[in-house]
Structure 1
Amino acid sequence: MVVFRLGRIRTPQGPGMVLLLPFIDSFQRVDLRTRAFNVPPCKLASKDGAVLSVGADVQFRIWDPVLSVMAVKDLNTATRMTAQNAMTKALLKRPLREIQQEKLKISDQLLLEINDVTRAWGLEVDRVELAVEAVLQPPQDGPAGSSLDSTLQQLALHFLGGGVSSVAGGALPPGPADTLEMVSEVEPPASHCSAGPSPKPPVAEGLLTALQPFLSDALVSQVGACYQFNVGLPSGSQSTYFLDLTSGQGKVGHGVPDDTPDVVVELAEADLRALLCRELRPLGAYMSGRLKVKGDLAVVMKLEAVLRAMK
Structure 2
Amino acid sequence: MAVLDLQSNRHPPRSHLHFYNLSYNRMTVPNYQRIVVFRLGRVCPPKGPGIVLVLPLIDQWQRVDLRTRAFNIPPCQVQTRDGGLFSVGADIQFRIWNPVLSVVSVQDLNASTRMTAQNALTHSLAKKTVREIQTERVKLGEYLGVDINEMTRPWGLEIDRVELTPGSLLKPPEETPPGSLVVPPSVPGLEGITGPLQQLAMHFMNHSLQPQQESSVAFLNEQSGIEPTVTTLSSVEELLHAVQLVLSETLVNQIGTCFQFDVSSGEGQHRSYYVDLCQGRGAAGAGSLYRQPDVTLTMCDEDLLAMFQGRLQPFAAYSSGRLQIQGDIKSALKLEELIKLLRK
TM normalised by structure 2 equals 0.40
Query: Whose Rg is larger?
Result: 2
TM normalised by structure 1 equals 0.44
